[in-house]
Chain A
């Protein structure tokens, strides 16, 4: 089902948390609300499921205006960060709860619960209590409970935050599989860009109560709308260096180093301050436009190695390379940049 949020405004006390935000989610799409904590992504989610009132704007589920409808009447499924399973009920009762509340008959409940349990692979757990389950299993139960009522939209609030690294990987693909199998419209709230990129069709990245960019993951990674988005997307993160425009080059602050500008952009005025974003995978040996520096930090990650290289003006660039002969701290290197991949930003962080 298509979900539309129009001119949504939310205030707590006197502070505006969200101002005039609009969002259009296509039917069957999985959208990520990505952002740092306090950016308003959870507030948006709570407004969509009706736990928070909207102070302005409209919310449409398909053609139906649900702006003032309480949670109970909205038909949304929510998976909370801590799963919020009811500790005194068995897994079966947990999943059956939304149906029982709707006074469905026993036979239907039975059928639906076992179907959904089958879908999320927890059939053998139905008799247990939540406390007897591992984090990943609880997560599956929470999903089952959210899906069993066949909701118009599935809301996932940081669903992977409480899992350990290995389970997180597993559940990432599981959630995506289940979402695609059911064809449900889903919204994922997360602060982890890897999660957002790997699970969702589109990402809405939020900062300070508004959406900064809304696009497909790959596009957003390659074409961030601002320095904020560029900094948020990618792990290990992008490095920024500051400088001024001289001819069609950028001279780095307090140094004689000059870097080329990406070909695609319009060259700004002479002497304008500029910020260049360079991703670790674009700062490599054997490229043109080489930059001399000293290796100041090495982080071994197994298949890859991450180097911090300090330039002569003190700026630091990161480079990620396949593990071969490992350099030592203090080694002098002269690596180069892949020119088309350099991202240029204006003084306010806007993309040039």
Chain B
């Protein structure tokens, strides 16, 4: 930046503005390992008590945290893999291939991309009930994949758009088929896009709450989001220290991925426009 403007007033202003989030996040971490007497803001002692949920056998009617975590991983990984695989082909077709209805498909993807998918939850709930996919992880995975797909295709198309046409033209001139050109020449160019979209979809599924809550509320297919919400709902006297421990456990993959892949993800958040 230029030397014409001072930055310290901004630093002070932003520090004050950021206080609520900093406080919330600071205590989110602090409270998982300390105890505080009621009415005070300063913790009295260190304890690992709040993390006991990791080792205890759960109370009857409640799923084990490890089972729930496994479910969440299956949910997030499968969703992410399906979104990436499907977007890879569809994005290429929309970016580079001549085909009938191309304009229509593009318009469709763009429309769906802006469309607020959550409004469809009631119809989807009834559909899953009718098809027997209700209360299964598979049902939630399919639905989440479908809802993430328009954004995924759009992002992948964006990555394909940046691959120079000359690479493909050269490949064709060398005698390769369109398919070979895609697999051998174009696909390696969009690896960063694949990785970014994969991470993005993983995070989106990992954080998803409404879909599992509505479509698979029962114990066997519970994920961390619904597990945690049930925990909060069921307690008459909330034990925030415990909630925060479970919450931090749940948020850990998100925070780690974000710390490592910050820039990659920013690109997608910038490209995607969903609030």
Contacts and interface: CB of A to CB of B under 8 A. Distances in A.
Are chains A and B touching in the complex at the 8 Å CB cutoff?
yes
Interface of A: 50-53, 70-72
13 contacts: A50-B3, A50-B4, A51-B2, A51-B3, A51-B4, A52-B2, A52-B3, A53-B3, A70-B3, A70-B4, A71-B2, A71-B4, A72-B4
A68 to B, nearest CB: 10
Contacts of B4: 50-51, 70-72
Contacts of A50: 3-4
Nearest to B3: A53
Interface of chain B, helix or strand or loop or mixed?
loop
A153 B4 CA distance: 18
Interface residues of B, number: 3
A73 to B, nearest CB: 10
Nearest to A50: B4
B260 to A, nearest CB: 27
A341 B3 CA distance: 48
Contacts of B2: 51-52, 71
Contacts of A51: 2-4
Contacts of B3: 50-53, 70
Nearest to A68: B3
Nearest to A70: B4
A53 B2 CA distance: 8
Contacts of A71: 2, 4
A227 B3 CA distance: 37
Given A52-B2, A70-B3, A71-B4, 10 more contacts: A50-B3, A50-B4, A51-B2, A51-B3, A51-B4, A52-B3, A53-B3, A70-B4, A71-B2, A72-B4
Nearest to B1: A51
A134 to B, nearest CB: 28
Nearest to B2: A51
A108 B48 CA distance: 74
B101 to A, nearest CB: 35
A132 to B, nearest CB: 27
B2 to A, nearest CB: 5
B9 to A, nearest CB: 15
Contacts of A72: 4
A69 to B, nearest CB: 10
Contacts of A70: 3-4
Interface string B2-17: 1110000000000000
B258 to A, nearest CB: 29
A72 B3 CA distance: 11
A217 B4 CA distance: 35
Nearest to B5: A70
A70 B2 CA distance: 10
Nearest 5 interchain pairs by C-beta: A53-B3, A70-B4, A51-B2, A71-B4, A52-B3
